[in-house]
Structure 1
Amino acid sequence: MNEISNTTTLPEGHPVQIYFQENDIIHALLEELSAVNPEDDLQKYTNIFNQLHTIEKRFARKENQLFPFLEKKGWNGPSQGMWSFHDNLREQFRLIQYYLKMNNPEKININTPFLINGIYRLMKMEETVLFPNALDLLTEADWIEMRKGEEEIGWMLSQAPTPYPKQEYIHPSEDFTKREMSFSLENTSHYDEGYMTVEQVNLLFKTMPLDLTYVDENDKVIFYNRGEERVFPRSAGIIGREVKFCHPPKSVGTVLKILDEFRKGTQNESSFWINYKERLIYIRYFAVRDADKNYKGIIEMSQDITDIKKIEGEKRLLDWE
């Protein structure tokens, strides 16, 4: 079996490619650890040692992810021999930790070469035996499944690696993938796109920063949303009431004209903006029609746009802190 000299043929985020990313980190830390004398600078040694100790995540990924997949292919050697090698290194880590606790740099100096050489030998076995054989034995589906499990264990990397397989961004307007529902459909209703329970629909309308009122084709108010900060007050008494009695007398004529034009199909939208309690309010009316273009009512939408109107330039970053 040929030694893997590089991973240029492996895609980003592949479990073996990640192991080799970690190799670069480990090699750098081993060089730093070799160069520092704990008797001269124990704090610096401790910092490097603690970073190196995160190699435990690598051991855990191999033992709990890679080795079990290899066992399924009939290769049990890594689970036995290499796991023992991990345990020997763990014991070496524990020994140095003990001497750090006892503030004994002399003993640390004596034991550090055993730890460093042991890790070098382990990585040599990985590169020449473990990873080449694993790449031959395991399928693409195995690697994808393995990567899912690695997420819970973690890596030595400062940032999470690229997802595997790499997920290309698809704009929502172009995403036609039929997915299995990852949530319960119990007590939900199916809308044009998606499913929601009555509670979720209520929460949606309560959270929207808009006043919505729905008047049906008979000019009766059948719905309004009860948000925490409505622009115009509403009460349950308007449900079932004729819409012309829900507006001040001076604006009833305008409302009736809108209803008439929407019903005839000559218009579909009308907009107004007014100053109300020192706020700028944007009011819009939309005709509601079914798939056959039959008139089904009107939606009135009111929104406080005072602060929106002041927006200039761009804001792309969070400012919560």
Structure 2
Amino acid sequence: MNDTQNNTAIPEGHPVHTYFQETDIIHKLLEELAITNPMTEAQKFFNIFNELYTIEKRFQRKENQLFPYLEKRGWNGPSQGMWSFHDNLRDQFRLMRKDIDARDFETIKINTPYLINGIYRLMQVEETVLFPNALEILTDADWIEMRAGEEEIGWMLPKAPLPYPKEEYVHPSQDFTQREMTFSLENTTHYDEGYMTVEQVNLLLKTMPLDITYVDENDKVIFYNRGEERVFPRSAGIIGREVRFCHPPKSVGTVLEILDKFRKGEQNESAFWINYKERLIYIRYFAVRDAQKNYKGVIEMSQDITDIKNIEGEKRLLDWK
């Protein structure tokens, strides 16, 4: 199925319209990959493979935008089943990447059909189940919010899709919208030691070289910082989402065990380190408690420590030049 068959009634800029635009791109890439011989057309094969790998943006939009809105409407299936499908395809991409780096053309030729067929099966479920049901379940307000949140993740398209709904100019004299004020009327707030404006607090959190996510005592995500180079992608759709749906199914059990131990007061900290996209990532969880030791949630902190781990000796001089 192509964009013209599936998407004619959906306005351009709508998230589902964008998904179908990407579907057309993916179909073309899969067709090209299937007829390209990695042994005799290695560079062409690698270029197509790298372009197809941008499907990761599509996965992230679904996991961090579409799935959370479906959960709010009572449909949790995609968060559990389809996310696992994404992870299986990620594993296939990762293995093929290793074979490409090793120039193991025989293995590449054997594994390529498995990757292609897996993506075709996923798109079939998207087109026949996921997207039709999502259009039935979600409101237009949901789609508008979702489209705004997608900006942070990106698309497979050569340029960003149109805004949704289409922006129309309203003369200031005709604008009577009652808008919520997003800024504080107070100049500063007193913290433990010192004073900062809300803007300064935001800038501090954005500048810190850490991914920070705050989950409250009800296991709902209430905050994450928007650093310039986050280790793990996030978008506005996770705010208010249950934390168990914010992790791949294979790691949910560990996360729930951490929350249980923290809530019972049996533990206060947990740490992990993993290899992710050829970088060493340090992940820590901290129990948050108030002055009376009441449990108030969890802070998750992730940091790329690859370069830090390699530090040796001392550096006392500025060497910008």
> TM-score of the superposition, structure 1-length normalised?
0.54
Separation in structure 1 between the aligned mates of residue 28 and residue 177 of structure 2, nearest angstrom: 44
Residue in structure 2 matched with residue 17 of structure 1 by the alignment: 17
Give 1:54's aligned amino acid. Answer: T
Tell me what 2:43 maps to.
43
Q: 1:177 to 1:142 in 2, by over 3 A?
A: closer
Q: Provide the residue aligned with 2:200 in structure 1.
A: none
Opposite residue 122 of structure 2, the aligned amino acid is L
CA deviations over 1:20-52 (Å, ceiling 9, x no partner):
010111011111111110000111111110000
Aligned to 2:248: none
Partner of 2:133: 133
Deviations 1:119-153 (A, max 9, x none): 00100000000011111111111111111211111
Amino acid at match of 1:50: N
Number of residue pairs matched by the alignment: 184
* Separation in structure 2 between the aligned mates of residue 136 and residue 54 of structure 1, nearest angstrom: 28
Deviation at 1:182, TM superposition (A): 4.6
What's the secondary structure of 1:169's corresponding residue?
coil
Which structure 2 residues correspond to residues 101-120 of structure 1 after superposition, within 5 A? 101-120=101-120
Deviation, structure 1 residue 5: 4.3
The one-letter amino acid paired with 1:32 is E
C-alpha distance in structure 2 between counterparts of 1:44 and 1:168, whole Å: 43
1:65-76 to structure 2, matched below 5 A, reads: 65-76=65-76
Mapping of residues 247-266 of structure 1, within 5 Å: none
> Which residue identity lines up with residue 148 of structure 2 in the other structure?
K
Provide the residue aligned with 1:61 in structure 2.
61
- For 1:176 and 1:138, locate their aligned partners in 2 and report how far apart those are by CA, in whole Å: 27
Partner of 1:315: none
Mapping of 1:242-281 within 5 angstroms? none
2: CA distance between counterparts of 1:105 and 1:169? 55
Q: 1:305: which partner in 2? A: none
Cα 1:90–1:130 change in 2 (3 A) is same
Aligned partner of 1:32 in structure 2 is 32
- 1:237-290: CA deviation from partner (whole Å, max 9, x where unpaired): xxxxxxxxxxxxxxxxxxxxxxxxxxxxxxxxxxxxxxxxxxxxxxxxxxxxxx
Which structure: larger Rg? 1
Letter in 1 for 2:106: E
The CA deviation string for residues 200-230 of structure 1, in whole angstroms up to 9 with x for no partner, is xxxxxxxxxxxxxxxxxxxxxxxxxxxxxxx
Tell me which moved more, 5-14 or 28-37. Answer: 5-14
Looking at structure 2, the residues matched to 182 and 72 of structure 1 have their Cα atoms a distance apart, in angstroms, of: 24
- Give the match for residue 313 of structure 2: none
Partner Cα separation in structure 2 for residue 85 and residue 132 of structure 1: 19
CA offset at residue 179 of structure 1? 4.4
Match of 2:100 in 1: 100
Query: Partners of 1:49 and 1:168 in 2: how far apart?
Result: 39
TM-score by length of 2: 0.54
SS of 1:158's equivalent?
A: coil
Classify the secondary structure of the residue corresponding to 1:153.
coil
Matched AA of 2:24: D
Q: After the TM superposition, which of the residue ranges 74-83 and 89-98 deviates more from structure 2?
A: 74-83
Moved over 4 A (4+): 171-187
Residues 179 and 69 (structure 1), Cα distance of their counterparts in 2 relative to 1, 3 Å cut:
closer
After TM superposition, give the deviation of residue 170 of structure 1 in Å. Answer: 3.8
Q: Which structure 2 segments of 5+ residues have no match? A: 188-321
For residues 297-316 of structure 1, the aligned pairs below 5 Å read none
- The aligned residue for residue 198 of structure 2 is none
Give the AA of the match of 2:83: W
Aligned counterpart, 2:146 = 146
Query: In the aligned structure 1, how far is the partner of 2:182 from the partner of 2:29?
Result: 42
What's the RMSD between the two structures over aligned residues? 1.9
SS at 2:121's partner residue?
A: helix
Q: Distance in 1 between matches of 2:146 and 2:12?
A: 15
Deviation at 1:169, TM superposition (A): 2.9
The gaps in structure 1 that reach 5 residues or longer are: 188-321
| Cross-structure match for 1:91 | 91
- Give the 3-state SS of the residue equivalent to 1:160 in structure 2: coil
